[in-house]
Structure 1
Amino acid sequence: MSQLPLNAIKHYSDAHSKPPDLHFQYGTAGFRTLGNTLDSVIFRVGILAGLRSKRLDGKTIGVMVTASHNPEQDNGVKLVDPRGEMLEASWEAHATLLANASSTDAFLEALTALVKSTKIDLSKPARVVYARDTRPSGPALISALEDGFKALGVEARDAGITTTPILHYLVKAINTKGTNESYGEDSEDGYFTKLSTSFKKLVAGKARPDPLIIDCANGVGAHAGAKLIEYLGDSFPLVLENTTTSTPGTLNESCGADFVKTMQRLPPTLANLMKPGQRACSLDGDADRLMYYYLDERGQFRMLDGDKIAALVAAFIVELVKLAGLDSEIKVGVVQTAYANGASTKYLAERLPVKCVPTGVKHLHHAAEHYDVGVYFEANGHGTVLFSKSTQDKLKSHEPSTPAQSTALNHLINLTQLINQTVGDALSDMLLVEVVLAHKSYSGVEWNSLYADLPNRLVKVVVGDRNGFKTEDAERRLVSPPGLQTKIDDLVRRYEGGRSFVRPSGTEDVVRVYAEAVVKSQADGGSPYFIEVTETYKFAVELAFRVAGLVYDEAGGDPSRRPKEFLP
């Protein structure tokens, strides 16, 4: 067995020393914090990715430098395993340990221990493909990452500036190349060709969709969106907005999927473009989240979030499976998190199995793999559809007995090509939504009428230590700080249709508060009837900020960041 190149690692490591007094944690979305503090972390991730590849007999590992929907000053990095999925959970602890080694000597010691404990054969090759989003801190962090590759002697392929979903696609395509499970050509061209070809087949014979406005969040989705337009040709007209990727301060600023979901309104730059009936969507900074919306006949904003996408897509797939004559053999299920609107859960549960899991793509993805066809979408617009290997084989081998069955079967097969099954992909999901709308002849109005959302509000509270918040029951209840859940329960009981939960963010140093409420109870001074449409969100907002106030007071929130709309 070969040895670690300790001298080379020491040489490079000394140039990327860890900042004192900072603790880094590999969480739901990898490492994520202020970009100017991540130099040492990214360098060490370069080495970790190489070791992960060696541990898996030289399979290619992905590394993505991005902070997705976070503000521009943030950045982050995550590793992608060979099938395009998130890093194996047990290695998250290894990543955290390496990132926090206080010195080069401590880092070398931790590396040596990792190689021994995970039984890594150092004679195996190390192969990595890496990319970044458009953040200003990206180039410097990529340089640190490349030093990590050099230190270990990694065969590294630079995919340049691209979306997170494309990087995931590339990882799987590289690792399945030349096999009977080939995922596609391992290039951006292969990605766009795969998506556009299947989309054109799925909408053939359907009315040409009206133009769709895409808010690109002034991020890398603008680059990918421009390329997608070329591949789609006349089949689908797209109008790209918020495409500034080189002006400092614009990324995710008052635009993008997170802005739309959190603020529940149009990005300001789209206000003069949108007309009643016009539909649009927002990507986030690395194009893995998607949020749809439209203006109704009165010009009011109507949001179609991840829950609405899940309902639309799941119902369509169930319908196709039945039409193909496979409903007794292929079972479709939906996976949600506590953030899913209560009305969406009720709608879906009446039609197919629904499971609730903790927040985080890794939890949703893993649970979705247990179904023949697993549909998962977080309310924030991140999600995809997974077709099991046996299901894909069944679709290929099934002999339809009628022309209708044959058509439905072909649609399902093309969906397996249209959908990026490695990870949530805003562009792939956007095309999926448009396919369903075309087949159902739905506008935003018909789609939105599948069910009526319960009024809801999401609030962030900056606290001294988010790790002091512990949850259970798929993050729907707090176990720590002690006694806080009881106070939340008391508040929730005062609202009809009331529901609220508190959980620490996996990507930011904040605690998130979610609340749903229809009307205040008479016991709390509310009226006994439903409120007017213009006041729909009044009580959900009130409950959210009352719970936020409890969190703030219990956990010693940062006084400068007290929830601004807090209602005493």
Structure 2
Amino acid sequence: MSSLPLQAIKSLSELHQKPSHLRFQYGTAGFRTLGSTLDSVLFRVGVLAALRSKRLDGRTIGVMVTASHNPEEDNGVKLVDPRGEMLEASWEAHATVIANALTTNDLLDALDSLVRTLKIDLSKPARVVYARDTRPSGESLISALQDGLKAIGAEARDAGITTTPILHYLVKAINTKGAKDSYGEDSEEGYYTKLSEAFKKLVAGRRRLDPLIVDCANGVGASAAAKLAQYLGDSLTLRLENTSITTPGALNHACGADFVKTTQKLPPSLTDHLRPGQRGCSLDGDADRLMYYYLDERGTFRMLDGDKIAALVAAFIVEQVKLAGLSDEIKVGVVQTAYANGASTKYLAERLPVKCVPTGVKHLHHAAEHYNIGVYFEANGHGTVLFSPATQEKLATHEPSTPAQSTALNHLINLTQLINQTVGDALSDMLLVEVVLAHKSYSGVEWDSLYADLPNRLVKVVVGDRNAFKTEDAERRLVSPPGLQTKIDDLVRKYEGGRSFVRPSGTEDVVRVYAEAALKAQADELAFRVAGLVYDTAGGDAAKRPKEFL
């Protein structure tokens, strides 16, 4: 049995010492904080990723250096398991322990304990593929990661600067190479080829859609979208905006999916580019979230968020399953969080099963795996569709009895190729939306009219300790701080159609407040009044309470 290369780890670890005053936590989005503080974390993640690979018999593990929709000064890192899915939950705690070992000797002890506890066979190979987004801090953090991989002797592959979903795709493609369930060619080109070929088959014979405006958030999605556009050719014209990936401070600034969702308005940079009736969409900084929108005939901004995408896509898939004659054998379900708009839940529940789970991609993804075809989208625009292995086998072997069934069956098979099933993928989801719009001959107006959103507002409150906020019932109720939920309940009762939820963020030191009511002004008021309660309860000075919370 091999042992840990203690001397190599020790000497390289000394170059990446942990700041003694900081504590790191592996959350929903991995480690995420100021990029300037993450050097030691990246070194240790390199070692951890290699050990995870050894634990899984040398299968390739992914490492993505990104902070998604966060401001440019932030950065982060997350691990990707062999099927392209997020890191197994039990390893989040191991990652947190190893990241917080105070000294090099403490780190060696923590690694030794991990190896012994999990019975990791160190003679197994370690294989890791890694990538980063366009953040200025990414280059030095990748250097620290490489030292961690070198310290333990891992076989490492640098996928360069690319989107988070492409890294997830690569991990699955590498691990299924040559197998019956091969996911695709293990290269960025393989990704673009797979998506574009499926898209062309799905829109063949349909009227070409008008050009689509794409806000690339001045992030890595800009270069990926430009490459994808070449593969798509004249099947879909993309007009790319906010593509300044080297301009300091431009990333996610007043643009991108998170800006659109939280401010509920058009990025200022698009005001001269989007005309009434034309549809546009925004990616986030690492291209795993997608937000659509259009201007109505009066020039009013209309948002088509993750809930609207789920409704459009789920209804289309149910229709294709029915047309293929497979309704009795393939069950489609939708997974949402409490933060989905109440009107979307009502619309979907009238058509297919809907399950509510806590916020966080891992919860949605796991719940979606329980359906034959599981559709999940967070309201923030992060989501995908999962086809179970048995369902994919059924689609491959089913004998259609009419030409109409054959056509629908082929559509479903091509959807399995178009959709990135490893993770939410803004570019893949964008093509999926465009397919449905082409099939239904919908503009943004028809899509938007599937149901009318209940007025809602999302507010974030900066708190000293987000961990003081604990929830239950899929994050619909607070259990601590004590007494706060009762005050929220009392407030909600005062508003017609009122709903409000409070939860700690998984990625930053804030608490998120969501509110709905029958009227927009009431939804805003309820959100800010609940935010005021949160601010006061979290130990904030009431005299310094932000004006809008009063």
**TM-score for both structures, normalised by structure 1:** 0.96
The separation in 1 between residues aligned to 2:229 and 2:182, in whole angstroms, is 25
For the pair 1:283 / 2:266, whether they are aligned, the reply is no
**Counterpart AA for 2:240:** L
Which residue number in structure 2 is paired with residue 556 of structure 1? 539
The separation in 2 between residues aligned to 1:493 and 1:141, in whole angstroms, is 49
For the pair 1:420 / 2:403, whether they are aligned, the reply is no
For the pair 1:36 / 2:28, whether they are aligned, the reply is no
In the TM superposition, what are the counterparts of 1:409-448 in structure 2 within 5 Å? 409-448=409-448
In the TM superposition, what are the counterparts of 1:250-329 in structure 2 within 5 Å? 250-329=250-329
Give yes or no for contact 1:475–1:503 (8 Å, CA) kept in 2. Answer: yes
The separation in 2 between residues aligned to 1:558 and 1:285, in whole angstroms, is 34
Partner-residue secondary structure (3-state), 1:316: helix
Partner-residue secondary structure (3-state), 1:109: helix
Mean Cα displacement is larger for which, 551-560 or 154-163?
551-560
- Alignment CA distance shift 1:130-1:205 (3 Å): same
- Alignment CA distance shift 1:66-1:561 (3 Å): farther
Q: Deviations over 1:20-69 (max 9, x none)?
A: 12110000000000100100001100000000000000000000000000
The separation in 2 between residues aligned to 1:302 and 1:259, in whole angstroms, is 14
Please state how far the C-alpha of 1:70 moved relative to its aligned partner. 0.4
Q: Deviations over 1:383-410 (max 9, x none)?
A: 0000000000000000000000000000
Which residue number in structure 1 is paired with residue 108 of structure 2? 108
Give yes or no for contact 2:536–2:542 (8 Å, CA) kept in 1. Answer: no
**Counterpart AA for 1:151:** A
In the TM superposition, what are the counterparts of 1:171-320 in structure 2 within 5 Å? 171-320=171-320
Which residue number in structure 2 is paired with residue 534 of structure 1? none
**Aligned residue pair count:** 550
- Alignment CA distance shift 1:122-1:542 (3 Å): same
Q: Deviations over 1:328-368 (max 9, x none)?
A: 00000000011100000011011100000011110000000
Which residue number in structure 1 is paired with residue 527 of structure 2? 544
The separation in 2 between residues aligned to 1:381 and 1:235, in whole angstroms, is 24
- Alignment CA distance shift 1:91-1:560 (3 Å): farther
Give yes or no for contact 1:34–1:75 (8 Å, CA) kept in 2. Answer: yes
- Alignment CA distance shift 1:561-1:256 (3 Å): farther
The separation in 2 between residues aligned to 1:561 and 1:52, in whole angstroms, is 47
In the TM superposition, what are the counterparts of 1:273-422 in structure 2 within 5 Å? 273-422=273-422
**Counterpart AA for 2:527:** A
Please state how far the C-alpha of 1:561 moved relative to its aligned partner. 8.2
Partner-residue secondary structure (3-state), 1:496: coil
**Structure 2: runs of 5 or more not aligned:** none
Which residue number in structure 2 is paired with residue 524 of structure 1? none
**Counterpart AA for 1:112:** D
Which residue number in structure 2 is paired with residue 140 of structure 1? 140
Q: Deviations over 1:266-295 (max 9, x none)?
A: 000001111110100000000000000000
Partner-residue secondary structure (3-state), 2:166: helix
Which residue number in structure 1 is paired with residue 508 of structure 2? 508
The separation in 2 between residues aligned to 1:25 and 1:458, in whole angstroms, is 25
Please state how far the C-alpha of 1:559 moved relative to its aligned partner. 7.8
**Structure 1: runs of 5 or more not aligned:** 520-536
- Alignment CA distance shift 1:68-1:194 (3 Å): same
**TM-score for both structures, normalised by structure 2:** 0.99
Please state how far the C-alpha of 1:518 moved relative to its aligned partner. 1.2
For the pair 1:94 / 2:79, whether they are aligned, the reply is no
The separation in 1 between residues aligned to 2:449 and 2:502, in whole angstroms, is 29
**Counterpart AA for 2:523:** A
- Alignment CA distance shift 1:563-1:346 (3 Å): farther
- Alignment CA distance shift 1:455-1:223 (3 Å): same
Give yes or no for contact 1:463–1:558 (8 Å, CA) kept in 2. Answer: no
Give yes or no for contact 1:358–1:475 (8 Å, CA) kept in 2. Answer: yes
**Counterpart AA for 1:427:** L
Identity %: 83
Please state how far the C-alpha of 1:201 moved relative to its aligned partner. 0.2
Please state how far the C-alpha of 1:558 moved relative to its aligned partner. 7.3
Partner-residue secondary structure (3-state), 2:548: coil
Please state how far the C-alpha of 1:556 moved relative to its aligned partner. 1.6
Q: Deviations over 1:140-179 (max 9, x none)?
A: 0000000000100010000000000000000000000000
Cα root mean square deviation, aligned: 0.9
The separation in 1 between residues aligned to 2:544 and 2:248, in whole angstroms, is 24
The separation in 2 between residues aligned to 1:136 and 1:517, in whole angstroms, is 42
Please state how far the C-alpha of 1:437 moved relative to its aligned partner. 0.3
The separation in 1 between residues aligned to 2:51 and 2:193, in whole angstroms, is 33
The separation in 2 between residues aligned to 1:284 and 1:418, in whole angstroms, is 20
In the TM superposition, what are the counterparts of 1:474-493 in structure 2 within 5 Å? 474-493=474-493
The separation in 2 between residues aligned to 1:420 and 1:557, in whole angstroms, is 43
Please state how far the C-alpha of 1:557 moved relative to its aligned partner. 3.2
**Counterpart AA for 1:240:** L
The separation in 2 between residues aligned to 1:558 and 1:166, in whole angstroms, is 45
The separation in 2 between residues aligned to 1:559 and 1:232, in whole angstroms, is 55
Which residue number in structure 1 is paired with residue 473 of structure 2? 473
